[in-house]
A and B are shown apart, each in its own frame.
Chain A
Amino acid sequence: MDRIKRLFDSKKNEKILSVYFTAGFPKKDSTVDVIKALSDGGVDMIEIGIPFSDPMADGPVIQQSSQKALDNGMTQNLLFEQLKDIRKVTDIPLILMGYINTAMQFGFENLCKKAVEVGIDGFIIPDIPLEEYSSQYKPIVEKYGLKFILLITPETPEERIRKIDSASSGFIYMVSSASTTGAQNSFSEDKQRYFKKIADMNLKNPTLVGFGVSNKATFDAACEHSRGAIIGSAFIRALEEQPTVQDAVKSLISKL
């Protein structure tokens, strides 16, 4: 069952909200609680971050959540242990997001195997570039029937966007701006032009906008020329500020 495709097919006229959080944050054992709260709160898709000591594509908020998760004792084995009954909790698409180094140590094929076992739908690994993905990892990902979501950015030339669209599956992660992850207050007209340009390319994959989406203004702007948006840092901040994970989800949804 292709949960990602089902989501995009069923929400043709509505915007999709995908939320990122770091596994093992704020507490070692909060992973499942956070997934349940997000799912109950009406979020359409969840990206589960595998914490890494050196997350070079992330801004300070997600970096700190990763460090905290590692300090809490989070590991990849523990994550799969936590996720073993996750499909009894929710049926929305779940994506693992992490960095190549931890995947290599776990064994990339082992990661795919474990992911399928617990019901994960796909991966986002921002430091596996298109070329390395196509030559080394794509056959393994496809063997396990998983999706692999590649990123495009305002710096990505059109020809390369076509190649990324062709290699990517599930959807394309459209990075809003030249930046690391982290909240921004508004999206400029430049960004709108870039989102529109991509929309006009009629890619095979749907797109979701991420990086800098934090409130109603940025969410609506992100959605204008895409199928939806991804929120990460703003939710991590809510998890830090609110007393419970349920309150954090409520606080996030209320801002949208």
Chain B
Amino acid sequence: MNYNVNEQGYYGEFGGAYVPEILQKNVKELRENYLKIMQSPDFIAEIDQLLHDYAGRPTPLYFAKRLSEEVGAKVYLKREDLCHTGAHKINNALGQILLARRMGKTRIVAETGAGQHGVATATVCALMNMECVVYMGETDVNRQFLNVQRMKMLGAKVVPVISGNKTLKDATNEAIRDWCCNPQNTFYIIGSVVGPHPYPDIVAKFQSVISEEIKKQLKEKEGRENPDYLIACVGGGSNAAGTFYHYLQNEEVKLYEAEAAGLGIDTDMTAATIHLGKEGVLHGSRTLIMQTPDGQIVEPYSISAGLDYPGIGPMHANLARMGRAKVFAITDKQAMDAALRLTRLEGIIPAIESSHALAILAEAKFKPSDVIVVTVSGRGDKDMNTYSKYFEGQF
């Protein structure tokens, strides 16, 4: 079974490139050139050097001893939280801006929800001296003040989006509209494995450095490349795509993903897209989407600002459909408990997104001999307000 994208841009029945005609030329140029560019020796040399010297790779694969004792299995943490800017998002932002330069584009647009991808994009634009416009829902602008300030200090223009629900999906609509209006000079740096083909594949490939490193590091530590389980959270699904990438065809490695159940999948305050979504087209790709029976997109809810996206990367829709990945719906409470547990056992405050992945450790059954790798996609600094409010009085 091939779990990668096919030549038509589909993962099984999911994916494709449903974009307005004005963007067809751009998307075609990207489709015809991305592999050639990304495989060229000078591109590989440049991205490798930046990932190493600038982003701080390889990130450690850390054996979490005390957590392992609690779980009753060998738990390793892939420390993407230690990347420059605080999350795995920088891997993709660096890759795409180099791609944009080689495609001759001079202006960058991006969408952001919690602000992590916006910060990563603003960072690489500062580094490469490129104009940067970040679209961010007005609601998110207000609740992610610190990241807005970071983007501004980095020289990006942050445009608050007032359409729709004023969150990530609306910011994405607005970034696509900007791209429609400026197709000649503008490159859209998408932050997750979503959007029209070839974006899901581009982002997955730039994030695949995560699983490439896991293979090497696990070999050194355990004498084998393959863990029994890989665990990651999915909003759009970029860190999970990177964590799984080099293991996709290797069916003996079990893939577990955590999506945000919010207050529970039997409530309407949830973001569990794979559990509850129906097939449709959002942001240029055919995938599972949270929507009404009449096809209006529903605004999802999660305590984590990075997981409340109403769609899911087409790769993940397919992994779930084919039974290759097992998808857990993790509630706010399960995630927050897992965050506190990791913090107290290992002295690592994870991003709330990552806490959803960590919560699977308490939900699934493992054997003492199992080797598990959990990707800690980001650090929790940005979430301190939410954590302190949630645990009020407990510290």
Contacts and interface: CB of A to CB of B under 8 A. Distances in A.
Interface of A: 52-57, 59-60, 63-64, 67, 70, 75-77, 99-106, 126-130, 132, 150-153, 155-157, 160, 164, 175, 178-180
Given A57-B20, A101-B295, 10 more contacts: A54-B173, A56-B176, A57-B180, A101-B280, A104-B279, A104-B281, A129-B19, A150-B21, A178-B180, A178-B182
9 contacts: A52-B295, A54-B164, A57-B20, A57-B177, A106-B295, A155-B25, A155-B26, A156-B24, A164-B21
B254 interface: no
Given A56-B176, A104-B281, A156-B25, A76 B20 contact: no
Contact of A54 (B24, B181, B292, B297): B297
B294 interface: yes
| Chain B interface residue number, banded | 35 or more
A128 B18 CA distance: 6
The residue among B25, B163, B183 with the most chain A CB atoms within 10 A of its own CB is: B163
- Interface residues of B: mostly helix, strand, loop or mixed? mixed
B294 A127 contact: no
A63 to B, nearest CB: 5
B86 interface: no
Given A151-B20, A155-B183, A101 B293 contact: no
B283 interface: yes
Given A53-B296, A53-B297, A105 B280 contact: yes
Nearest to B165: A53
A57 B183 CA distance: 13
B294 A178 contact: no
A68 to B, nearest CB: 12
Contacts of B19: 127, 129
Interface string B161-205: 001100001100100110011111000000000000000000000
Contact of A52 (B170, B181, B283, B296): B296
A242 B284 CA distance: 36
B278 interface: yes
The residue among B18, B21, B292 with the most chain A CB atoms within 10 A of its own CB is: B21
Contacts of A53: 164, 296-297
Contacts of B289: 101
Given A54-B164, A129-B18, A160-B24, A180 B180 contact: yes
A156 B181 contact: no
Interface in B270-287: 278-284
B17 interface: yes
Contacts of B292: 105
A102 B295 CA distance: 4
B31 to A, nearest CB: 12
